[in-house]
């Protein structure tokens, strides 16, 4: 009898441990591409976004969330490791794609691997789920086995899951009239209307060129369609009976793809929405402290009861004892063929940007961006003399070495205070903060990208275009590569 009692106790203890494991929350990340915080819960008035608004009402909304890189592959390399991309050598966009490879430091693990080791089912997909793994775009060598599949439905019964849903977001609008019409028609079919052109209010640094206005309207329709997708994800979780035990995190991978947004260090490129809801989150919470997008790595691990690696730079911003950051940091380096080197630090009140290549124009040649109708329209108005003083800022042939903005009084970051004696102390303070961050985090961007790595990645880029039989685009990129090399040789 004693033996049977012991067996029963052991069986009960094992069963209890399984129940405890099964009760761990599921973690779902929803991360659209190329989208700023143009949701009604963030103050956007031209459109309505009821599903993201509902998440915010049921959870916590961060008003000051910023990416550490304003372009997808570097941003994604950072949040999937919880590390600054500059600390792990992944700071150049679409790097490590050719014969020259990038390997993570030995003590850095991918977040899905940590979840997997803790017994979670890991998945990554687009939406709707189509059986293929979703967007990763990491700049280093990694093993696809960190993802168990494309859909959490393949997990074992009762197994908790960590799921990433990576969607097109702002990319739904495309680059020209064809893309604009496609997303507007989709919104009209699904929601009964398209965003009217007269509802568009552009930032003051963009002119009311008809193509720029239509593009922005289409972008807002892409926001609406992204909101629909969020509603579909929540509906599926509810239908499967797991919604109440799921932490849902909604964030974008960087700001809108526009002239002064994506790839730039202004808030249009760095500021993103961040909404989190689920077990333990107090409904209707609004957080105004500055946070970094890499923090989603630490807070997700902590929510699942997984130890946060001691070397991880991300912080658990949901922890009861969390001490708010005083500043957040970002870096922009090479994007495709275009070589650049910028760093920034932002507090709640000020933004400091350092341009390490000040003798280059603001709008350096970049085939990806220059092919967009909005850039073509901007240049058309510039050549025609139709831009005002603020709108001309993007067309300067050189940049200041330092930029300083009072982001409360000047939210569009137009009035550079770096040379204003009244702000000399603030300039010195933020300059010192940036220097300290670069030192403490081992910024790999202090040294230029090697010629071997640049040539290796450009070979892949050019090969892709050759395969697409796109001789015009190919010639543009070849010319841009030659220009980058010439400028580098000239010390520019």
Across all residues in the chain, what is the average pLDDT?
Answer: 95
**Residue 413 structure tokens:** 């970051």
* CA dist., res. 367 & res. 472, Å (int): 11
Q: For residue 455, report the phi and psi dihedrals to the nearest 5 degrees.
A: -65, -35
Q: What is residue 30's three-state secondary structure?
A: strand
pLDDT class of 5 with cuts at 50, 70, 90 = very low
pLDDT at 20 over 80: no
* pLDDT of residue 15 exceeding 50: no
Rounded to whole angstroms, how far apart are CA atoms 461 and 477?
Answer: 9
Catalytic residue among 41, 72, 75, 366: 72
Q: What percent of the chain has pLDDT over 90?
A: 95
pLDDT for residue 51 is more than 50: yes
Q: Confirm if 121 and 139 have CB atoms less than 8 A apart.
A: no
Span 390-409, mean pLDDT?
A: 98
Q: What are the two backbone dihedrals, phi and then psi, of residue 94, each rounded to the nearest 5 degrees?
A: 55, 50
Question: Closest Cα partner for 374 from 214, 255, 231?
Answer: 214
pLDDT for position 157: 95
Give per-residue pLDDT as tens, 248-275: 999 999 999 999 999 999 999 999 999 9
Q: What is the helix (H) or strand (E) element at residue 472, kind and residue range?
A: helix 471-489
- So what's the pLDDT on residue 127? 97
Structural element, H or E, at residue 352: strand 350-355
- The reported pLDDT for the residue numbered 22 is 66
Give pLDDT, residue 18: 40
The DSSP bridge pattern shows strands 161-167 and 26-32 to be: parallel
Mean pLDDT over 218-225 rounds to 98
Residues 6+ apart with CB under 8 A from 486: none
11, pLDDT greater than 70: no
Quick one: tokens of 244? 């109440």
**Whether residue 13 has pLDDT greater than 50:** no
6 has pLDDT over 80: no
Is the pLDDT reported for residue 8 higher than 80?
no
What is the rounded average pLDDT of the residues 179-200?
98
Distance, in Å, from the CA atom of 175 to the CA atom of 367, rounded to the nearest integer, reads: 12
The CATH-assigned architecture of domain 23-446 is 3-Layer(aba) Sandwich (3.40)
Angle CA 445–335–90, to nearest 5: 45
pLDDT at residue number 391:
98
| pLDDT for position 444 | 97
Domain spans of the chain, in order of start:
23-446
Q: Looking at residues 347-357, what average pLDDT do you find?
A: 98
Average pLDDT rounded to a whole number, residues 96-115: 98
The predicted pLDDT at position 142 comes to 98
Tens digit of each residue's pLDDT (9 = 90 or more) over 59-103: 999 999 999 999 999 999 999 999 999 999 999 999 999 999 999
Q: How much of the chain, in percent, has pLDDT values that exceed 70? A: 96
Between CA 266 and CA 332 the distance in angstroms is 11
What one-character-per-residue DSSP string does 144-200 give?
A: GGGS-BS-GGGSPTT--EEEEEEE-GGGGG-SSHHHHHHHHHHHHHHHS----GGG-
The yes-or-no verdict on residue 163 having pLDDT over 70 is: yes
Interval 414-432 mean pLDDT: 98
Average pLDDT over residues 368-380: 97
Handedness of CA 434, 439, 443, 444 (dihedral sign): positive
For residue 245, the 8-state DSSP code is G
pLDDT of residue 102: 98
Catalytic, 366? Answer no
| H helix intervals, 384-470 | 424-440, 451-467
Average pLDDT over residues 156-164: 97
pLDDT band at 376 (very low <50, low <70, confident <90, very high): very high
Q: How confident is the model at residue 1, as a pLDDT?
A: 39
């Amino acid at each position: 009898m004693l033996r049977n009692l012991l067996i029963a106790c052991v069986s009960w203890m094992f069963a209890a441990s399984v129940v405890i494991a099964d009760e761990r929350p599921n973690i779902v990340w929803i991360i659209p591409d190329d989208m700023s915080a143009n949701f009604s819960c963030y103050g956007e008035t031209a459109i309505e976004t009821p599903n993201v608004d509902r998440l915010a009402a049921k959870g916590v909304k961060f008003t000051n969330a910023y990416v550490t890189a304003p372009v997808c592959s570097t941003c994604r390399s950072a949040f999937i490791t919880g590390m600054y991309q500059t600390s792990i050598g992944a700071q150049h966009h679409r790097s490590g794609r050719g014969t020259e490879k990038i390997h993570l430091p030995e003590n850095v693990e991918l977040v899905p691997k940590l979840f997997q080791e803790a017994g979670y089912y890991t998945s990554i997909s687009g939406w709707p789920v189509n059986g293929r793994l979703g967007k990763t775009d990491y700049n280093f060598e990694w093993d696809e086995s960190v993802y168990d599949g494309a859909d959490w439905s393949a997990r074992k019964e009762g197994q908790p899951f960590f799921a990433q849903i990576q969607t097109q977001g702002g990319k739904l609008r495309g680059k020209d009239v064809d893309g604009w019409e496609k997303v507007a028609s989709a919104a009209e079919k699904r929601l009964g209307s398209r965003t009217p052109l007269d509802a568009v209010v552009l930032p003051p640094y963009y002119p009311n060129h008809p193509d720029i206005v239509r593009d922005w309207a289409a972008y807002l329709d892409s926001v609406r369609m992204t909101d629909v997708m969020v509603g579909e994800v929540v509906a599926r979780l509810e239908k499967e009976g797991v919604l109440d035990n799921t932490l849902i995190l909604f964030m974008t991978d960087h700001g809108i793809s526009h002239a002064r947004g994506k790839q730039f260090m202004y808030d249009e490129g760095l500021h993103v929405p961040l909404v989190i809801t689920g077990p333990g989150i107090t409904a209707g919470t609004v957080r105004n402290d500055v946070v970094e997008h890499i923090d989603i790595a630490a807070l997700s691990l902590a929510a699942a009861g997984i130890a946060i690696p001691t070397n991880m730079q991300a912080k658990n911003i949901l922890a009861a004892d969390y001490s708010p950051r005083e500043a957040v940091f970002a870096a922009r380096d090479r994007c495709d063929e275009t070589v650049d080197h910028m760093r920034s630090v932002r507090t709640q009140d000020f933004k400091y940007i350092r341009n390490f290549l000040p003798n280059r124009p603001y709008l350096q040649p970049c085939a990806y961006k220059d092919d967009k109708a909005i850039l073509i329209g901007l240049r058309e108005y510039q050549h025609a003399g139709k831009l005002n003083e603020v709108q001309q800022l993007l067309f300067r042939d050189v940049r200041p070495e330092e930029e300083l903005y009072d982001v409360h009084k000047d939210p569009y970051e137009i009035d550079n205070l770096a040379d204003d004696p009244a702000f000399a102390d603030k300039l010195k303070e933020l300059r010192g903060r940036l220097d300290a961050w670069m030192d403490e985090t081992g910024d790999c961007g202090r040294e230029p990208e090697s010629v071997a790595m640049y040539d290796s990645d450009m070979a892949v880029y050019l090969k892709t275009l050759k395969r697409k039989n796109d001789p015009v685009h190919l010639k543009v990129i070849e010319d841009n590569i030659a220009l980058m090399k010439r400028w580098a040789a000239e010390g520019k």
